Structure 1
Amino acid sequence: MLLFKPAPIYILDEVDAALDLSHTQNIGQMLRTHFTHSQFVVVSLKDGMFTNANVLFKTKFVDGVSAVTRTTQAQPDQNKGPRKGPSQRPQAQKRIAN
């Protein structure tokens, strides 16, 4: 269905929850290579999905304060395959007191 009539954006919530690492990486790579004209918002707790993301938003809650950190991935070399992990350059951080 995604190839026949693609939508501009998809929201997926822990679609990889029951999968092992290799299958999680396969889903991330499939989304990256086959659906280049769509945008995906994916909620995941597994590194296999993170390595295929363009941008990561990491959230944490410590001592009553929520912190959201945005990290941009380095652009992959088209001849080298998928990226290995996020860059170490945090782009923005926002703190929300509860």
Structure 2
Amino acid sequence: MFKRKKAVPQPQGPLTEESLKQWLTDYLAVHAEIPRDTIDTQKTFESYGLDSRVAVQVSGALEKIVERRLSPGLLYEYQSIDALSQYLAKELRLTP
């Protein structure tokens, strides 16, 4: 009936803005069922068809990666992969 999506592996090595960006790109490719190399990290999540249900799933998966509680509304506040990964890197003090 419902097909279960493939799990996206957690980033390997130290958590960085770039590793978050790569993970978000992989997650979007799997869940939107589009080739990874066609994803523009500056386009909005909404332009790829992500709805509120998926936004909650993304924030839940991100919580496991960053080991911190996150708002499900993050994808609406930071509407692109670039914006969200930059915010998280700053919030988690991953950048100097």
**TM-score (norm. length: structure 2):** 0.33
**Bigger proportion of residues as strand:** 1
**Bigger proportion of residues as helix:** 2
Larger Rg: 1
Q: Which has the higher contact order (CA 8 A, sep 6+)?
A: 2
